[in-house]
Copies of this chain bind each other. A is one copy, B any other.
Amino acid sequence: MKFDIMRDRLLDGLNDVMKAVSSKTTIPILTGIKIDVTNEGVTLTGSDADITIQTFIPVEENGDQLINISETGSIVLQARMFNEIVRKLPTNDVEIEVSNGLQTHIRSGKSEFHLIGSDASEYPLLPEVSTDRQFSIPADLLKSIIRETVFAVATSESRPVLTGVNWQIQGNELICVATDSHRLARRKTNLEHLPTDVSSVVIPGKSLNELNKILGESTDAVEIVITNQQVLFKTENVLFFSRLLEGNYPETSRLIPEEFKTDITINGKSLLQAIDRASLLAREDRNNVVRFETLEGNVIEISSNSPEIGKVEEQIQVESLEGEHLKISFSAKYMMEALKAIDGQDVVIQFTGAMRPFILRSVHDDAILQLILPVRTY
């Protein structure tokens, strides 16, 4: 194996696949990155067994020669070390050569590194994914869908299936739901050409977070292939595989109330900032709880009280306030994350009394729904 490559392109590729490499893996070869050189280009693969990321750098792109291949072949190099070396090389031309089996030479300018690689045949094979059940989402929309749901997954492993986001396909609608059983985020998206033979999978939250880092804010299509145990996200040069979570995702639609006693329309940003301030004084041992009360004259009050430190109160003018008087307490953290997911617009909040879950959504559409369970303090 021997090739010359533009350092910057190699670094970009490494930057993607490094996101799958974990230093905590129990499988030694997965601390490495696999490099496969064919006459078409260089493929880099990184994996932590749950997530596998593969990126392809072509020999030529838009008329620019990126790689000059002298001999094809494969090698696995220690990921962190290889990445650091490439980052610090003195010139933009990098030559990588494998001789005598696993002896790898990395040359740039007058700098020469000699690393001992591992046998590429020991590296796990990619999951097999047939492309029958393929559909596509523009990258920027996929990023929004991830951002609006993934924060609500459970962080505790006590119910493993809740650490993932449930993707359901119903007709021409993709419904993504995450809940940690204290709050829930749901995002509905109308899409064309959805597969008809898959109805529900659970994608690990960690995988979606890593995928979000790799995707750019473009409208380029991301091809998605769902199988029984794996999901594959394909962009132009990157393949992102994630295992799916096993187990039945709970039926959540019946948790969402349909009748309400108090309806409020409020500027999401003002509310977010007021809750951020109130949370400063919310005692941490009470899970950062703030109070919310409706007052006369289209005004609500946010308050918080910590006997040892002090208290805070703040009034906000709302756009509209209908229904019963309400006094409710909830987690400032959950409320702030829900408001950030709805993102700055005017928000409708609908309550069914101080002890019942309440929902938040944008005034403009129902695509995003956030549900929060209150905390009993009164």
Chain A positions within 8 Å of B, measured between CB atoms, are 78, 81, 84-85, 88-90, 104, 110-116, 273-274, 276-277, 280-281, 308-316
B309 touches A112 (CB 8 A): no
A115 touches B85 (CB 8 A): no
A316 touches B110 (CB 8 A): yes
Query: Which chain B residue lies CB-closest to A88?
Result: B277
**Known contacts A85-B280, A110-B314, then 8 further A-B pairs from the complex at CB < 8 Å, ordered by chain A residue:** A81-B281, A88-B273, A88-B277, A110-B315, A112-B314, A113-B310, A114-B310, A116-B310
CA distance A88 to B110 in the complex (A): 53
B311 touches A114 (CB 8 A): yes
Ranked nearest first, the 10 interchain pairs of A and B with the lowest CB-CB distance are A115-B310, A111-B314, A113-B312, A114-B310, A88-B277, A110-B315, A114-B311, A84-B280, A116-B310, A110-B314
Q: Within the oligomer, what is the number of copies of this chain?
A: 2
CA distance A308 to B273 in the complex (A): 54
Contacts of A312 on B, CB cut-off 8 Å? 111-114
Contacts of A111 on B, CB cut-off 8 Å? 274, 277, 312, 314
28 A-B pairs with CB atoms under 8 Å apart are A81-B280, A81-B281, A81-B309, A85-B277, A88-B273, A88-B280, A89-B277, A90-B273, A90-B274, A110-B314, A110-B315, A110-B316, A111-B312, A111-B314, A112-B312, A112-B313, A112-B314, A113-B277, A113-B280, A113-B310, A113-B311, A113-B312, A114-B310, A114-B311, A114-B312, A116-B308, A116-B309, A116-B310
How far is the CB of A196 from the nearest CB of chain B, in Å? 50
CA distance A85 to B276 in the complex (A): 10
CA distance A310 to B273 in the complex (A): 53
Contacts of A316 on B, CB cut-off 8 Å? 110
Contacts of A84 on B, CB cut-off 8 Å? 280
A309 touches B90 (CB 8 A): no
Taking A110-B314, A110-B316, A314-B112 as contacts, is the C-beta distance between A309 and B78 under 8 angstroms? Answer: yes
CA distance A75 to B81 in the complex (A): 54
Contacts of A81 on B, CB cut-off 8 Å? 280-281, 309
How far is the CB of A153 from the nearest CB of chain B, in Å? 28
CA distance A13 to B274 in the complex (A): 24
Taking A88-B273, A273-B88, A309-B78 as contacts, is the C-beta distance between A281 and B113 under 8 angstroms? Answer: yes
CA distance A78 to B113 in the complex (A): 54
Contacts of A311 on B, CB cut-off 8 Å? 113-114
Contacts of A308 on B, CB cut-off 8 Å? 116
CA distance A101 to B315 in the complex (A): 27
Contacts of A90 on B, CB cut-off 8 Å? 273-274, 277
Q: Which residue among A85, A276, A310, A315 has the maximum number of chain B CB atoms within 10 Å of its CB?
A: A310
Query: Which chain B residue lies CB-closest to A77?
Result: B310
Query: Which chain B residue lies CB-closest to A305?
Result: B114
How far is the CB of A18 from the nearest CB of chain B, in Å? 16
Contacts of A88 on B, CB cut-off 8 Å? 273, 276-277, 280
CA distance A122 to B113 in the complex (A): 62
Contacts of A314 on B, CB cut-off 8 Å? 110-112
Q: Which residue among A85, A89, A110, A112 has the maximum number of chain B CB atoms within 10 Å of its CB?
A: A110
Query: Which chain B residue lies CB-closest to A277?
Result: B88
Contacts of A114 on B, CB cut-off 8 Å? 310-312
Q: Which residue among A78, A111, A311 has the maximum number of chain B CB atoms within 10 Å of its CB?
A: A111
